[in-house]
Amino acid sequence: MTAYSIASNFAQYFQIKFADTKALRQEAFKIRYGVYAAELGWEPLNEKEMETDECDDYAFHCLLEHRRTGVFAGCVRLVIPPVDHQDLPLPFEAHCLDSARTDVIDSTKLPRGSFGEISRLAVLSTFRRREKEKNRPFVLNSVNPETIYSEDERRNFPNIAMGLYLAAVALADICNHTGMFVMMEPRLNRRLTRFGLPFEQCGDEIDYHGTRSMFYLRRAGFNSDLTPEILELYKVIYNDLMAQLSLVPFTNPKDK
C-alpha cells in the first residue's frame, strides 16, 4: 500500500469487526437504534434502545471500530436466506417483492443460501453529520463534523460507508455467493458504480423512506471492476474478515 492511499489511511484509524458474539451484535443493534429510531424516526423507540428484526437471526453482522477511541462508528449486515428454512425471506422479499423485476433476476428461483442482501447499514451521526446530509443513515460524501476527532481522522470519515459496503461484499465473496441484493436510492447506485460496484437495477422505484429501488450485484462484479484505490481497500477489509472468521462457502447441491 502507498503511504497516502485510502486503504492505508483507513486502516490506520478504523478496523472491521465481525460481530461473532452476542455483545458485539448488540453494539450493532444500538447503532441501528440510534440512527433509525432515535435520529431518523424510521423505527419505533423502545426501552432496550436496540433496533432488531426477525432477519437478524440469519444474518452476518459487521461493525466498524474507531481504533483510537474504541467507538463503533457504524454497522452493516448481510442477510442470507437459510438453506434449511426455505420460508424465511430476505428483507426486500418480505416488504418489496411486488416491485421486483423478475426478468432481470428472480430471487425466488435462486438456491437459498447462495445469495444475500446488504441491509441496515448505519453510521453514527458523529461520523457523518453535515447540514445537507440530515435524515440519512449514512453518506458517501465529504463531512466536517464538530467532534473530538482530529483533522486527519475526519478526512477518513467519508470512507466509512464505503468500508461497510465492502465488508458486506467481502462476506458474500467469502461465502461463495452468486450475487447480492440491496435496496437503495438510484443516485447512491450511481456513486457506487463510479467506485466500481456495478449493481444493476432489478426492481421498480418505490417510496420507501424516499425513492428507492432494488439492485443486484453479480459475483463477477464483487471486486473485478473496483477502482485501484477501492480495490486496495477491499483487500484490506477482506483480509481482516478472513482473519476473524471461518465460514463454510455455499455449494449448490446440484453440483455435488
Q: What is the rounded CA–CA span in Å between residue 17 and residue 24?
A: 9
Q: What is the rounded CA–CA span in Å between residue 170 and residue 173?
A: 5
Instruction: List Cβ neighbours of 127 (8 Å cut-off, separation of 6 or more).
Output: 66, 73, 74, 143, 145, 147, 157, 160
Give tens-digit pLDDT for 73-89. 999 999 999 999 989 99
Across-strand partners of 180? 116, 217
HEC sequence for 65-90: EECCCCCEEEEEEEECCCCCCCCCCC
pTM recorded for the entire structure:
0.87
Q: Which residue has the cell 484490506?
A: 236
Whether 180 shows a pLDDT value over 50: the answer reads yes
CB 179 within 8 A of CB 57: no
125 or 141: whose pLDDT is higher?
125
Give tens-digit pLDDT for 201-215. 999 999 988 899 999
Angle (CA) 142 172 137, round 5°: 30
User: 6-244 maps to which CATH number?
Assistant: 3.40.630.30
Q: Which residue has the cell 437478524?
A: 56
